[in-house]
Amino acid sequence: MASPGAVLFDAYGTLFDVYSVGQAAERLFPGQGAALAVAWRDKQIEYTRLVTTSNDGAHYRPFSELTRAGLRYSARRLGLPMDDAAEQQLMDAYRTLSAFEESREVLQALKARGVVTGILSNGDPGMLDAAVRSAGLHGLLDHMLSVDGIRKYKTHPEAYQLGAVATGLPPAQIAFVSCNGWDALGATWYGFRTLWINRYQLPFEELGTQPERIGHSLRDVLAFF
């Protein structure tokens, strides 16, 4: 099979470690940092789905707002006394998530091979830009694609379609990389060539569709070329 004409990466959980906020959370709420990071992430994603499914986008809010809403819910759910300062501290930490250790070298290797690269993310542009700069990944990404313009989150097909439109390539010529199983599934359903990075040794979703490839580090994307 020919190499893809472009590689698009999911951002949150794939290039950036969403659980790295657990350290800031642990300093604020000793013993509860990891639990808060996990609950926060789950709720944030749940909210993207609720607003996308309900009323055709009428309840859309940018990812940064859903991230804050997910944090508020999770802190209440866990009974953590989060004041405004603590909330803002955690939101600031989310804007400057750690990149995974191989994120930069993999993007550099792709650029060295002349591959078109990009991010296709639920994140709104301000949030994405802050994360990319903070992680030193700017200049390594040809496309920065956010669902914010269409007001529908992944796994809505219009979200993935942003990648085809931006690159001018048919979906079958675009590689899509995600550590999130549901995202790799949705992208496969849409028609991308998908690589699921199974960073946490999880089963893949049991919905009868498999990603084209499964890897354990972002480095595995290089095998497409």
Residues tagged active-site = 10
Binding to a copy of itself by residue 2, rule CB under 8 A?
Answer: no
Residue with Cβ nearer a copy of itself (135 or 185):
185
Query: Residues with Cβ < 8 Å from 118, sequence gap 6 or more?
Result: 6, 7, 8, 9, 141, 142, 143, 144, 145, 163, 166, 167
**Residue 136 has which token pair?**
């030193």
Stretch of 19-27, 55-63, 86-94, 164-172 lying at the interface with a copy of itself (CB under 8 A): 55-63
Residue with Cβ nearer a copy of itself (7 or 159):
159
* Residue count, binding to a copy of itself (CB under 8 A): 34
Do the Cβ atoms of 39 and 32 come closer than 8 Å?
no
Binding to a copy of itself by residue 186, rule CB under 8 A?
Answer: yes
Among 20, 35, 57, 69, binds a copy of itself (CB under 8 A): 69
Among 49, 111, 143, 199, binds a copy of itself (CB under 8 A): 49
Stretch of 95-103, 119-127, 202-210, 211-219 lying at the interface with a copy of itself (CB under 8 A): 202-210
Residue with Cβ nearer a copy of itself (1 or 58):
58
CA-based nearest residue to 152, from 77, 56, 82: 56
Exposure b/e, 179-194, CB count within 10 A at least 16 = b: bbbebbbbbbebbbbb
Do the Cβ atoms of 218 and 212 come closer than 8 Å?
no
Residue type, 26: E
Separation between Cα atoms, residue 70 and residue 111, nearest integer Å: 35
Binding to a copy of itself by residue 155, rule CB under 8 A?
Answer: yes
Do the Cβ atoms of 196 and 204 come closer than 8 Å?
yes
Binding to a copy of itself by residue 112, rule CB under 8 A?
Answer: no
> Which parts of this chain interact with a copy of itself (CB under 8 A)?
46-47, 49-56, 58-59, 61, 69-70, 72-73, 76-77, 153, 155-157, 182, 185-186, 189-190, 202-203, 205-208
